[in-house]
Amino acid sequence: MTPEVRQIFKRNGSLVPWDRERVVVAIYKAAAAIGGHDRALSEKLADQVERALEATYSDDDPPTVEEVQDVVERVLIKAGHAATAKAYIVYRHERAKMRSARRTDRVDLIPYKPMWQMLDWALAHDCETVDKLNATIREGRLPQLIAAANARYEGILDDAANAILERRDQLRFIIVAGPSSSGKTTTTHKIAERLEKHGLHVIPMSLDNYFFDLEMHPQDEFGDHDFETPEAMDLPLINRHLAALDEGRGIDMPRYDFKAGVRTREKIRFEPKRDSLILLDTLHGLYG
């Protein structure tokens, strides 16, 4: 059957013909890295990748190279080949490093190392698929899994705090970024607590307070208020306040009422010290 997806976007934005053989070879190389040499199985898995792509993309909406690779990872894990998926993630990482060596002006924002570490942890705890997670719940092992996940999270926070402490004299702003409901605020406060135990003066700031009133918000194609775009925030005021804090001057941060969709009259006063660290809790932390 001819796939509906006949072309994909390369990383440079150009459209190129879909090449199923490249997927077969990539899967085969990943399997070979862990001792597997089954070409027929690689072909079968590539078929599953094609079907998964057809279910989501089309000629009118072709996938990117990264989206194809994401589908390959999901297919490998769902098909029970998690070890091959790990090898494939390593393969992606190595390819990314090669591209980076050729294009030193580009920054690879795909966190391959944490992805691999998370998959490795999930494999060790037998929860790398939804089916296995459901089995954990049925068998009454969820509390132990949650405890293990929390312990891992706390360890990551310890590592982050230690990395900040090692570079204390070089840092002024620390950005805690991530999508909605990813735990940014909790993470910000936990890191602040760790740093304060070492005598640092920390100012945790939630940039959500800089959203415009709803009547000034940009809207998406469905007419909904779009909190996900940076333009929903008062960027000039953010820049002025960050510059003031960097210079050691106090600011009055607005307070946003999400229920009412407006900024309130109440302000939050921040008075930085010369050596204060400012932790920025923001959905748009990587916006440049």
pTM for the whole structure:
0.61
Confidence grade of residue 105 (pLDDT, cut at 50, 70, 90): very low
Residue predicted with more confidence, 104 or 130 = 130
At 263, phi and psi to the nearest 5? -80, 140
pLDDT over 70 at 110, yes or no: no
pLDDT at residue 35 in the model: 82
All structural domains of the chain, each given as residue ranges with its CATH number in brackets, are: 7-109 (no CATH), 172-282 (3.40.50.300)
| For residues 73-101, average pLDDT | 85
Mean pLDDT of 135-143: 97
Predicted pLDDT at 23: 94
pLDDT (mean) for 90-97: 79
- Confidence grade of residue 2 (pLDDT, cut at 50, 70, 90): very low
Query: Which of these, 276, 269, 287, 250, lies nearest to 173 by C-alpha position?
Result: 276
Q: How far apart are CA 277 and CA 202, in angstroms?
A: 5
d(CA 70, CA 68): 5
Strand partners, 60: none
Comparing 30-39, 260-269, 271-280, which segment has the lowest mean pLDDT?
30-39
Amino acid letter, 175: I
Q: Residue 250 pLDDT more than 90? A: yes
The pLDDT, as a whole number, for residue 104 is 46
**Whether residue 103 has pLDDT greater than 70:** no
pLDDT confidence band for 101 (50 / 70 / 90) = low
Distances (CA, A) of 227 to 45, 67, 177, 194: 39, 24, 15, 30
Average pLDDT of the chain is: 88
pLDDT at 90: 85
Q: State the pLDDT at residue 124.
A: 92
Determine the pLDDT at residue 81.
94
Looking at the chain, the whole-number percentage of residues with pLDDT higher than 70 is 93
User: What does the alpha-carbon distance between residue 50 and residue 196 come to, in Å, rounded to a whole number?
Assistant: 52
